[in-house]
Amino acid sequence: MSEIGAFEAKTHLPKLLQRVEAGERFVITKHSRPVAELIPFRERDSAKVRSAIDTLRAFQETHSLGGVSVRRIIEEARRY
- The pLDDT tens digits for 11-20 are 999 999 999 9
pLDDT 10s digits, 20-59: 999 999 999 999 999 999 999 999 999 999 999 999 999 9
Q: Where are the alpha helices (DSSP H) in the chain?
A: 6-11, 13-21, 46-62, 70-78
CA dist list (Å): 71 to 14, 53, 57? 47, 20, 18
